[in-house]
A and B are shown apart, each in its own frame.
Chain A
Amino acid sequence: MMSTALSNEKPMEKPAKTNPFRQNFLEQLIRNKKITIMIFILHLTAAPLTFINVITKFFNKDYAEPDELMLVLAVISTALAALAGIVIAINTFDHLCKRSRVDMSLSLPLSTNQKFFSDFLGGLAAYLAPFFVAEIIGLLITGLGFILCEGKTYVVYKDPIEFEFFKPMMPYYIQLIIGGAFIMLMVYALTVLVMSCCGSMFECIFYTAAANGIIPAMIACFTYLTIGDIYGVDFENSFIKAISTTSPGGGVFGLLYVFNEFGGEETTSEEWKEFFLWLIPLMLVTAVMLAGAFLIYRQRRAEQVGRPFAFRLFYHIIAFSVIFCLISVFDGMSELGVGAFITCAVIYMIMEVVANRGFKRIWLTGIRFVGMVAAVLIISTVSEATDGFGTLYRVPSAGNVSSITIDSYRGQMEDYPIEFTVKSPENIQRIIDIHKGELERYRASDHVYSYDYARDYDYEYNAQKISCGGIKIEYHLKTGGKLCRTYNLALDEYLKLLEVERTDEYKTVLAEFLSERVTAQFDNLKAYRDMNLAYYNSNPAISVSKLYTQDKDYKLQNIPADFGDKLAAALYSDIMEETDEEFYRASAPKFHVNIDGMEVTVYPHYKNTVAYLASLDMLPETEYNMSSLRRAISNEEFIIASPSDRKEFANYTENGFDKYSSTLYNSRYNAYNSQVKYLRSYYESESDTIAYKLTILLENASSRYITEESCYTLNVSGEEYVIPPEYTELAEELYDYCYTEDYSE
């Protein structure tokens, strides 16, 4: 027999120190190196290539935005690189689904914990390292862009344009890197979780894809089924918040949603706060996925490799989710019948046959299906009976609320629906009372607020829904949570909200908002026009107008450089000094200051602002322009409604009400089936008389007027004004001139 090297030899080497954890980590890096290189190339074709393109275009004096094609390429390559995380996870944890890998992997001198985490981290490093390297390169290119381009002026078609790309883009890019990394981590963690539950390659791949889709689908369907029809509950908001943090696809949506909410504005601490409010839950969900994967990994056994599932509950959860979503969709389409159940049964049967690799214990499949359908129906029924498990009537107590944001509110400055936040206990309590009052009204109305499109033409039904406009209430709870509700407030609640407007807290928000806007708009106008003087010096930059009077137009050169600051300061003072009487009887013939397209409302009682405009001789004439008025009458720009009409109109519009009038956003012209009373003159000889009478009404009509008496209202080009009771007689006279246009046919 041949002698081998071992005979009569003593090995000379001493035992080396080994670190199996590190060795296994490195092994995963090596095993995934080809995919890593591919991911790196894909990431390079995203942000870095896009930025190089921007710099190159700048030097070519081209319009310095990235090519659309580049952006499409960047999106596709980033998506592919992110999806490669699934391939890496499957490759790294292949001993969970490939029998041939089991012995080699599990016989290594590693504990279960060491094996899991070294594999996990090794694969993760192979997945994320190319991303970070590519983004560091992207940041270096960004730095180069700052040095070479940012702030410099270049001319496109004779227009000097200040290059500004990298500075505004930078915060978003950093958020994209951080957010992107965590979304990729979630892709990877979710795949590992699915792999821990599955035992064969087919199941690993199929259920990874399924889990990515079924998580957002299940959340959407569950939210829709339970609170989709609940009055005031912001279904979309709940849905988006939940979806954006619970799955990788949802995470991408969430990140874009955060960008979209703040898009185009300077990055503020608020924006970063919003970003982290999205990111932290996403991180927590990822941590839960990882913890789940680890716990299942610890429990599973080597011999389960090759079977469809190592953790069968996972399959049942997915199957239940599929059935839940299907039933919800059928329910949403009002198609929940025998056909729907048969469809669900067939799909479930296919899933069972694939999962069981044949028709095993088919009777159990039947029982499970019936159980699932029953569970979905029970959830739906209980949710309906309990108004979304109590969601409808949930109002936080004042002690638990740190602040409340009112969104989409058109108050004092109805030109700009603003979002404002109140923190004072008094205002928090006021809004909670408004909320409770609205819910009481809803309770008393026997839940008619759920809109029933089938009853669109039912006047009695619609009359009960009269409201004064919608607001969105967002509670910021001391626990860090949020609660959002959207209501169409009834008059009583709306009047309570006006009390909030009278507080210094609201006035300050409004005054700051408006003055900042005016200053910024004017500064922007100056900078823009100074640079493009040749194009704009012939057009008015600023105009001040009043209904049917001679407008005043001003070129930029004719007004002082501190116009924006002074006007803003005057508006600030007027808002802060406004008395209750002035507020509740705001006169109609207000001025509008137009600053390069932005309109600022100036009420006659805004003494400081009026005085400042007067000092610059910018106030329009006080006399009405009779020829303009006559033309407007013949153009049917006026509609007069009598109190009796109002009741009738109330049937057709959500915005009509008897005691109080604010601006109506929906013109009567759009009201369904309404009879519209247009003011018109039948004879030329009457036109001067009508116009004269109209000037009196215009001068005394009020934008906001609260009274118990029935009043006529005047609609001027879509804006609604109340005619005070002392002018009712005059209004009646003019009303007689109106003709009715019947839209009911």
Chain B
Amino acid sequence: MIELKGVSKRFDSFTALDNVDLTIETGTAFGLLGSNGAGKSTILRLLSGIYRQEGGEVLIDGSEVYSRPEVKERVFFINDETIQFGGYTLKALKNFYKGFYPNFSEEIFEKLRETIKLPLDKKIDTFSKGMKRQAIVIIALACRTDYLLLDEAFDGLDPTMRIIVKRMLVDAMLDRKLTTVISSHNLKEINEVCDSVALIHHGKVLFSRDLDSVKGNIHKIQAVFPEEYTEKEAFPELDVLHFEKSKSVLYLIVRGSEEEIREKLAGKNPVVLDIIPLSLEEIFIYEMEGMGYDVNGIK
């Protein structure tokens, strides 16, 4: 289990993480969502022992990570770049990591490599961006660590390879209870792979829940009321994230379960009331908007 307890991380005067509490259960696929600079990559680097926190605790199965080889050998971190592997051949890179990770499996490596047909003896520099990403993913999986941290892991992959890599991850999770933490801007991918997500904003965790409860806790409402409402303050009983009015139709984004929302709006005698579930992308956008984040700046 991964636990962040009151973790703070500053870069000079900039606070990247501010008293963050986060728990990631073993065997889950956990998605980190957030705008640029929210602190997603910082969390991953803290978990892989690259960064040292200024406050709080970063624990993996109850042990601190930083400068602890016995903990770090159970974690593999893939960042969003591949330039660092350029000078290696796939074989050399495999041999490099094999010496560090005691559970490294040649068998898995070979089978995965065969699946995606990567050359062993060519410099990784000569690979396409997608091939580079595949190369490091198969090495990461062959290392058979308990925790796999992926920062924008699916960048550069074509749709087919995206599916193959996802499948690899899912297989590993099913096979040996691999815990995967994925940070991505691509909400579709998080939606497809993860079972829990956390939304990070300005170094704080806005929420951390399983995906179903996230989806079930925010809704889009299309409604027509006998009275005319021009602002969201007219609905104090609801947690309204977004308010829009087009002629007589109101469009509201509201936090809460469908039943709860229906119950609270019943008193206003809606003429029309449709409650529509939101996609994860919409949830992300509206949650961020609720935090005052400029929607136009989101990828």
Bound together, the chains give a CA A16 to CA B70 distance in angstroms of 14
Bound together, the chains give a CA A112 to CA B66 distance in angstroms of 9
Which residue of A6, A12, A107 is within 8 Å of B77 (Cβ)?
Answer: A107
- Residue A11 is within 8 A (CB to CB) of chain B in the complex: yes
A-contacting residues, B15-52, CB 8 Å: 45, 48-52
Pick from A5, A7, A103, A108 the residue with the most CB of B within 10 Å: A5
Q: Can you name the residue of chain A whose Cβ is closest to the Cβ of B116?
A: A4
Interchain nearest-CB distance for A372 vs B (Å):
25
Binary interface encoding of chain A residues 369-391 relative to chain B, with 1 for a CB under 8 A from any of its CBs, else 0: 00000000000000000000000
Bound together, the chains give a CA A361 to CA B217 distance in angstroms of 50
- Residue A460 is within 8 A (CB to CB) of chain B in the complex: no
Stretch of A20-28, A133-141, A610-618 contacting B (4+ beta carbons < 8 Å): A20-28
Complex contacts, A7 vs chain B, CB 8 Å: 167, 171, 174-175
Q: Can you name the residue of chain B whose Cβ is closest to the Cβ of A23?
A: B99
Which residue of B11, B100, B102, B164 is within 8 Å of A108 (Cβ)?
Answer: B100
- Residue A454 is within 8 A (CB to CB) of chain B in the complex: no
Bound together, the chains give a CA A108 to CA B93 distance in angstroms of 13
Interchain nearest-CB distance for B107 vs A (Å):
6
Binary interface encoding of chain B residues 91-116 relative to chain A, with 1 for a CB under 8 A from any of its CBs, else 0: 01000101111111111100110110
Bound together, the chains give a CA A203 to CA B14 distance in angstroms of 24
Complex contacts, A5 vs chain B, CB 8 Å: 108, 111-112, 114-115, 168
- Residue B210 is within 8 A (CB to CB) of chain A in the complex: no
Majority secondary structure of chain A interface residues (helix, strand, loop or mixed): loop
Given the interface pairs A23-B100, A112-B67, the reply to whether A107 lies near B167 with Cβ below 8 Å is no
Interchain nearest-CB distance for A11 vs B (Å):
4
User: B172 near A100 (CB under 8 angstroms)?
Assistant: no
B-contacting residues, A1-47, CB 8 Å: 1-13, 15-20, 22-24, 26-27, 30-31
Binary interface encoding of chain B residues 114-152 relative to chain A, with 1 for a CB under 8 A from any of its CBs, else 0: 110000000000000000000000000100100000000
User: B164 near A4 (CB under 8 angstroms)?
Assistant: yes
Bound together, the chains give a CA A110 to CA B70 distance in angstroms of 8
User: A4 near B49 (CB under 8 angstroms)?
Assistant: no
Complex contacts, A62 vs chain B, CB 8 Å: none
- Residue A524 is within 8 A (CB to CB) of chain B in the complex: no
User: B100 near A4 (CB under 8 angstroms)?
Assistant: no
User: A302 near B45 (CB under 8 angstroms)?
Assistant: yes
Which residue of A9, A18, A31 is within 8 Å of B111 (Cβ)?
Answer: A9
Binary interface encoding of chain A residues 99-116 relative to chain B, with 1 for a CB under 8 A from any of its CBs, else 0: 011111011111111100
User: A20 near B100 (CB under 8 angstroms)?
Assistant: yes
Stretch of B81-89, B258-266, B269-277 contacting A (4+ beta carbons < 8 Å): B81-89
Bound together, the chains give a CA A23 to CA B100 distance in angstroms of 7
Interface residue range, chain A: 35 or more
User: A3 near B101 (CB under 8 angstroms)?
Assistant: no
B-contacting residues, A278-315, CB 8 Å: 301-303
Which residue of B45, B102, B115 is within 8 Å of A16 (Cβ)?
Answer: B102
Q: Can you name the residue of chain A whose Cβ is closest to the Cβ of B176?
A: A11
Complex contacts, A102 vs chain B, CB 8 Å: 50
Complex contacts, B105 vs chain A, CB 8 Å: 11, 13
Complex contacts, B144 vs chain A, CB 8 Å: 11
User: B84 near A18 (CB under 8 angstroms)?
Assistant: no
Complex contacts, A302 vs chain B, CB 8 Å: 45, 50-52
Bound together, the chains give a CA A9 to CA B114 distance in angstroms of 15
- Residue B69 is within 8 A (CB to CB) of chain A in the complex: yes
User: A6 near B168 (CB under 8 angstroms)?
Assistant: yes
B-contacting residues, A443-494, CB 8 Å: none
User: B172 near A6 (CB under 8 angstroms)?
Assistant: yes
User: B84 near A104 (CB under 8 angstroms)?
Assistant: yes
Bound together, the chains give a CA A2 to CA B115 distance in angstroms of 10
User: A1 near B167 (CB under 8 angstroms)?
Assistant: yes
Q: Can you name the residue of chain B whose Cβ is closest to the Cβ of A17?
A: B102
B-contacting residues, A83-134, CB 8 Å: 100-104, 106-114
Q: Can you name the residue of chain B whose Cβ is closest to the Cβ of A95?
A: B84
Bound together, the chains give a CA A230 to CA B141 distance in angstroms of 71
Bound together, the chains give a CA A7 to CA B108 distance in angstroms of 11
Complex contacts, A30 vs chain B, CB 8 Å: 92
User: B72 near A108 (CB under 8 angstroms)?
Assistant: yes
Bound together, the chains give a CA A109 to CA B63 distance in angstroms of 14
Bound together, the chains give a CA A534 to CA B20 distance in angstroms of 98
User: A100 near B68 (CB under 8 angstroms)?
Assistant: no
Bound together, the chains give a CA A17 to CA B101 distance in angstroms of 9
Bound together, the chains give a CA A19 to CA B69 distance in angstroms of 11
Q: Can you name the residue of chain B whose Cβ is closest to the Cβ of A12?
A: B107
Complex contacts, B291 vs chain A, CB 8 Å: none
User: B69 near A114 (CB under 8 angstroms)?
Assistant: yes
Interchain nearest-CB distance for A118 vs B (Å):
11
Q: Can you name the residue of chain B whose Cβ is closest to the Cβ of A104?
A: B84
- Residue B239 is within 8 A (CB to CB) of chain A in the complex: no
Complex contacts, B163 vs chain A, CB 8 Å: 1-2
- Residue B191 is within 8 A (CB to CB) of chain A in the complex: no
Complex contacts, A109 vs chain B, CB 8 Å: 69-70, 72-73, 100-101
Which residue of A4, A10, A111 is within 8 Å of B115 (Cβ)?
Answer: A4
User: A111 near B67 (CB under 8 angstroms)?
Assistant: yes
Interchain nearest-CB distance for B160 vs A (Å):
8
Binary interface encoding of chain B residues 205-217 relative to chain A, with 1 for a CB under 8 A from any of its CBs, else 0: 0000000000000
Complex contacts, B49 vs chain A, CB 8 Å: 106-107
Supply 10 A–B pairs (Cβ within 8 Å), ascending by A. A2-B163, A4-B115, A4-B168, A23-B96, A24-B100, A102-B50, A103-B84, A107-B77, A113-B67, A302-B50
Q: Which residues of A contact B (CB under 8 A)?
A: 1-13, 15-20, 22-24, 26-27, 30-31, 100-104, 106-114, 301-303
Q: What 17 new A-B contacts, CB under 8 Å, besides A13-B107, A27-B99, A109-B69?
A: A1-B167, A2-B163, A4-B112, A4-B171, A5-B114, A5-B168, A11-B105, A13-B106, A23-B99, A31-B87, A103-B48, A103-B84, A104-B84, A107-B50, A107-B72, A111-B68, A111-B69
